[in-house]
Structure 1
Amino acid sequence: MTVKVLLVDDSRVSRMGLKKAIKGVSQEFEISEAENADVAEAYLQDNTADIALIDFNMPGRNGLELVEAIIGQHPDMKYVLVTANIQTSIQEKAKGLGVEFVGKPVNASQLAEVIGGFCD
């Protein structure tokens, strides 16, 4: 079974690193990328994803604003905020939205814990 992952991060380098880490967990992941919230939202109008790994700090809308905009249309998608911005207030808001939180830099065991269940 192929698991669809959407990476949303304005940093191409971060997306490349996450992509490599995801492939290290399993080759069963089909990865799509978006460089900001607007591109991600447009992508999800015509496509689906099982998991969205979303950065917090991006130009335009931040990651939690993106989640708030799309969660109604995609309630079954798993949302994970992957960010270097580890303020308690952001973690609490993420938790309130049902979004998991992973701090950057992400290590392989953290990523496996968050997305590995999709490979069973």
Structure 2
Amino acid sequence: ERDALEWLRGTKRVEYDIVFLDPPFGRGFIEASLGELPNGWLKDRAWVYLEAEETPIFRLNVEPWHMIRHGRTAHTQYALLEFNNLVPYPTRRQVLRPDKDLGRQSSE
């Protein structure tokens, strides 16, 4: 039995067209997964669907991600992202910033 993040960090890579992320909330798995997926796991223009807690701690509408659609339910936010591997991938710190609204651009 292996942790999903350990598996993502493994050496064998397969490029996927679509990935679904629905990890346990509040444990940083979304952020860590979005940091690992661009390292050879996604085809150009691949889609990533994710669900996160009501107040996520990341910003999604930044390169190499393009937000296709997002929304919320009472306790969950969801998003469909498109990956662009032609854009140099910035560090996780540049991509994943605190924000109260899924996909909201900060004024920084």
TM-score in same-fold range (> 0.5) = no
Relative to its length, the structure with more strand (as a share) is: 2
Relative to its length, the structure with more helix (as a share) is: 1
Q: TM-score range by the shorter chain?
A: 0.3 to 0.5
TM-score in terms of structure 1 length: 0.38
